[in-house]
Structure 1
Amino acid sequence: MAAADLKTLIVDKARSLGFDLARVAPAALADRYRLAFDQFLADGRQGDMDWLARTPERRTSPKGLWPEARSILMLAANYGPATDPMTRLGRRDRATISVYAQNRDYHDILKKRLKELGRYIAQTTGAELKVFVDTAPVMEKPLAQAAGLGWQGKHTNLVSRDYGSWLFLAEIFTTLDLEPDAAESDHCGQCRRCLDICPTAAFPAPYTLDARRCLSYLTIEHKGPIPAEFRAPMGNRIYGCDDCLSVCPWNKFAQSAVEPSFLPRAELTAPRLADLAALDDAAFREIFAGSPIKRIGRDRFVRNVLIAIGNSGNAGLATTAEQLLDDPSPLVRGMAVWALGRLTPMHLATLAPARAVELDEDVRAEWDTALG
């Protein structure tokens, strides 16, 4: 079979399996990506994400990851929201969850499709291949740009002329020698809406992210107490942040997702903070089974919820926070103190004498700060 016909066959099969875009990149990356990544690590901008610094030669070079790779099939699935995610930020007694996490874990959905597509390619061609959905050190956004799926915007995320900001990415490394598609050029122009909207100023420069200041990193990857300077800017965001994605002008071309697994579950579009704060470990696991939220665990999740409660301005939620002052997790106890200090500082002061001795240093520090 001619190489061009084979590529068309594979792309058509990918589309039939539910991928919205399927294009080919060469198994190589320009040196500028390696240099930018090295600088990112040198500046410590990865925060707690230590895995980013492991085997950088594999992350910055497709052939460093798999020397036999000759082509990379880059795939994308649209998860565009039907409404503007920013509208939920004003409902301070409710939680805002990132669009991508309001239903099933996309890793599971795309991995199943990838395996089926991989079997088809292997059976049709006999080629070797490897499939990835955030399961290996792959610089997928630069590869997606090289394949023409979109370009890395000033917020470092992929932007598509057809789908705006809302694409899940996956890739198949293969020994097939497929004709690469034309790379996409940058179409951000002078726009800086994504940079200016960031509530924590996480972009020290265009195309540069400091993860340590990013609310997606802080609410998902960061394991300890969230630094005090970032708590108020969190607002009611309890898992991720879509601000820089939502304001991109290219979203005028975005399309709402049609895949049922990417549509929001009704109970996760604007859940009540009081209900989420009341979850114990068993209830948390039950509600978020099959969700990407499950991986951060109940304690970090409730930590985030309590910060949102503290930002709510709703003194009626003080009782919810007070009930967590004796939580088994010091992470939760500390954020309960902070939330009460924001909502009812006078009441918190009356509770202090009975709680003068706190065994955990971080919790004691929260008390000392809250009480001045």
Structure 2
Amino acid sequence: MSMWSNLPFDLLANIFSFLSPDSLARARSACRNWNACALNYPLGPRYAAQSHPPWFLALPIRNHRPCCYAQNPAMAMGKDNWHEISLEFLSVPVRPVAPVESLLLLRVTNSITLQLAICNPFTRQFRYLPRLNISRTNPAVGITVMDSNSFRIYVAGGMSEAGQGGAFYEPTTELYDSKLDTWKIVGSVPVEFAVRLTVWTPNESVYTKGVLYWITSARAYSVIGFELCTNAWFELGVPMADRLEFATLVRRNEVVTLVGGTSGGNACIWELNEGSIWCLLDTVPSELGSRFLQGKTNWGSTKCVGNDNAICLYRDLGSGMVIWREDGDEGRWEWFWAEGCHYIKGKQVQNNPIRGILIHPSLASSFIFD
């Protein structure tokens, strides 16, 4: 231990950068020297995309206690793989929008118009983002991460007040740049798309190769795309659009991916190839699908979240999850079952509907809170 205690901080911090967040937390508790090193030399964690799968963060939709629950995938087969994380540091009620690297983008729910905030639930850091130029109710939100020190948020559509004319669908797009910490209007939205982005589109978006994508459930499922460089909007059809009971867009290996299921059928995964052609990648194995649905044939209550490293199908906090993720050095994607959260340290946890987020936790400080 004496040799490790005498290592220069920059070398020790470089070693710490390879640790997963739970291992780093234990290292920080070993001694004052290690804790000071981890706090003062916060190198970006290198495990995120290469060595460790993302954590599943479950945020209860209805919960009287300010907390969320995190599953450590490295301990997925053990009994202690779920952890309760206090959110008492949040001064307002919030709803998750999307991960931003190791941070969470949040919507403040006690505000009728959109007010965004950002936090790190593992380090208890929180701040509001500036107000938009136009007050909007229920717009679509998209995120692009430029690098570890920069991200952008696009807000499109939503309901807006028009003075004496009353409320209307806002046909503009606004951009938040984290480097400038300001919003600006960057383009227009066709009125038809503004309506669908406001009424029929969830917050989830997918960004890849210069385009933001949202899925919309108006009449039948379809995809709305926004080319950032040209400010051009377009629409794509999806497979079995009028038969899907649930459909979610995720990004897998930097490619737009669709996950959806039909009544009496399988849950399928399609990939958007060149020429805007959907290609079937895989289906949920029948034994895992039956276990997930608990004998039912209806996929309607299914929720899905994904990133470049994993795709997770879930329902509520206590239900088990079906996970498709990259496993091993050869880049093969394999199916796994993960138990839901029932007990934490021997104490029963109340089941709740949840919103799931896949995130690579970090204990390093972020520029956004400086």
TM-score range for the pair, normalised by the shorter chain length = under 0.3
Higher helix share: 1
Under a length normalisation based on structure 2, what TM-score does the superposition of the two structures give? 0.26
Greater strand content: 2
Ranked by relative contact order (alpha carbons within 8 Å, sequence separation 6 or more), the top structure is 1
